[in-house]
């Protein structure tokens, strides 16, 4: 292979590999902070971030899982929870991750009101 051929080969290889995979979110700023994690399939947990790795596998402590309605999986019962303690979460199943401070789970605003005036 000539020198120029080698160069185009390397360029093509670079293009194929794409940008260097770097984490777009720095999880170290959430270390020992309470976070909220949504998983594929609909599970929702909160817990204190104790550790993580390159693949976004997480270690949470004092983890609480929010249970969902038996009939309708999309309804999160914010008063029905279970304590899991120390858990490992698979990065492959992670959907969203956010800090818990400044956020709260509210009741469904689209739920019809009980009284007739609509308040």
Partner 1 sequence: MSAAEILPLEIIDKTVGQPIWVMLTSHREFTGTLVGFDDFVNIVLEDVVEYDRDHEVKRHAGKMLLSGNNISMLVPGGKPE
Q: How far is the CB of 9 from partner 1 (least distance, A)?
A: 31
Q: Do residues 57 and 95 lie in contact, with contact meaning Cβ atoms separated by under 8 Å?
A: no
Residues 21-60 that bind partner 1 (CB under 8 A): 28, 31, 39-43, 45, 50-53, 57-59
Indicate whether 75 belongs to the interface with partner 1 (CB under 8 A). no
Q: How does 28-38 read in b/e, with b if 16+ C-beta sit within 10 Å?
A: eebeeebbbbb
In the complex, minimum distance from the CB of residue 70 to partner 1, in angstroms, rounded to a whole number: 8
Distance CA 52, CA 89 (A): 9
Task: List 58's β-bridge partners, or say none.
Answer: 52, 89
Task: Report the residue from 8, 11, 23, 85 that binds partner 1 according to the rule CB under 8 A.
Answer: 85
> Which stretches of the chain bind partner 1, using CB under 8 A?
28, 31, 39-43, 45, 50-53, 57-59, 70, 84-90, 93
């Amino acid at each position: 292979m000539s020198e120029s051929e080698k160069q185009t080969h390397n360029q093509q290889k670079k293009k194929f590999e794409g940008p260097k995979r770097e984490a777009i979110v720095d999880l170290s700023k959430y270390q020992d902070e309470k976070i909220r994690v949504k998983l594929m399939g609909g599970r929702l947990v909160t817990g204190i971030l104790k550790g993580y790795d390159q693949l976004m596998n997480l270690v949470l402590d004092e983890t609480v899982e929010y249970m969902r309605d038996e009939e309708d999986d999309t309804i999160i019962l914010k008063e029905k929870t279970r304590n899991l303690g120390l858990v490992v979460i698979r990065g492959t199943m992670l959907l969203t991750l956010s800090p818990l401070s400044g956020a709260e789970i509210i009741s469904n605003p689209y739920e019809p009101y009980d009284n007739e005036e609509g308040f």
